[in-house]
Structure 1
Amino acid sequence: MIINDAVFGELEYSYGWVRYTTIEFCGKEAEIALMVKGEEDGKFDEEQYIAYKSLMQNWEQLQQGFLPAILDYYKQERQELGYDIEVNENYPQIESTDQLLEMINLVGIIVPYGDIYEERDIGITFDCTWDIENGLGIRLLNERVAEVGYQDVAI
């Protein structure tokens, strides 16, 4: 089933609503899946619209804030796994967000149900070179990075 939502655009229902689109991320085009949590009736919560519109209005500034948070997470993961001492080719030492950008690809934006948190809630998912299986996820609350972890933190 396909609907054309005024805010989210043309969405197809496949265990949730999805639209494949292109978005600019840190100077590069990214092919992503926009996933909107919702029932088959195609009715969404007002909070979902508000969260998504706010994300899109602030996208340019927000993406720059993702990188330091991801870099901190990466360094912490690397240390916890002991790769700051023992060399692992999947976890090279990196110091800059430019190096980080070469290791991640934006793959999804998730708009969860609107009643889970009080704040505007959005999930962002990435593929990453260091953990192909689990990927990388960010949970944004009120357009601020609230959590960084595996992709499932964003869902």
Structure 2
Amino acid sequence: MKINDTVFGELEYEYGWSRYTTIEFCGKEAEVALMIKGEEDGKFDEEQYIAYNSLMQKWEQIQYSILQPILNYYKQTRHELGYDIDHNENYPEIETTDQILEMINLVGIVVPYGDIYDERDIGITFDCTWDIENGLGLRLLNEQVNEVGYQDVAI
């Protein structure tokens, strides 16, 4: 089933609404899945539209502001796994957001149901070199990083 939503564009339903789109991320084009939580009737919460529009309006700033929390998460995970002491080629020592940018690929933007949080809620998913199986996910509340973890954090 397909619909053409005035805000989200042409969406296809398969266990949720989605479409592929291209977005710029830190100077590179990224092919991402835009996933909108919703029922088969194709009706979305007003909060979903507000959260998505706000993300798109502020994307220029947001895309760079999320790099430091990702770097912090990476360093913390690397330390917890002991790879700051015992070498692991999947977890090299890195210090800069430019280095973390080389290790991640933006793959998805998730617009959850609008009634879970009071804030504008968006999930962002990445593939990453250090954890191919679980990937990387961010939850943004009011365009600020609230949580960083595996991809399921964002879904």
Which category of TM-score, normalised to the shorter sequence, fits these structures? over 0.9
One-letter identity of the residue aligned with 1:17: W
What do residues 54-107 of structure 1 show as CA deviations (whole Å, max 9, x unaligned)?
A: 000000000111100000000000000000000000000000111111100000
Q: Per the alignment, in what secondary structure is the counterpart of residue 148 of structure 1?
A: strand
Match of 1:144 in 2: 144
Matches within 5 A, 1:61-100: 61-100=61-100
Structure 1 vs Structure 2 CA RMSD: 0.3
Matches within 5 A, 1:14-33: 14-33=14-33
One-letter identity of the residue aligned with 1:143: E
Distance in 1 (alpha carbons) for counterparts of 2:57 and 2:16 = 24
When the two structures are aligned, how many residues end up with a matched partner? 155
Structure 1 runs of 4+ with >2 Å offset? none
1:53 Cα offset (Å)? 0.1
What runs of 5+ residues in structure 1 fail to find an aligned partner? Answer: none
Match of 1:12 in 2: 12
One-letter identity of the residue aligned with 1:94: I
Q: Residue 114 in 1 paired to residue 114 in 2?
A: yes
One-letter identity of the residue aligned with 2:29: E
Q: Per the alignment, in what secondary structure is the counterpart of residue 98 of structure 1?
A: helix
Distance in 2 (alpha carbons) for counterparts of 1:58 and 1:101 = 19
One-letter identity of the residue aligned with 1:40: E
Q: Residue 135 in 1 paired to residue 135 in 2?
A: yes
Distance in 2 (alpha carbons) for counterparts of 1:84 and 1:128 = 18
What runs of 5+ residues in structure 2 fail to find an aligned partner? Answer: none
Match of 1:47 in 2: 47
TM-score by length of 1: 1.00
Distance in 1 (alpha carbons) for counterparts of 2:57 and 2:150 = 26
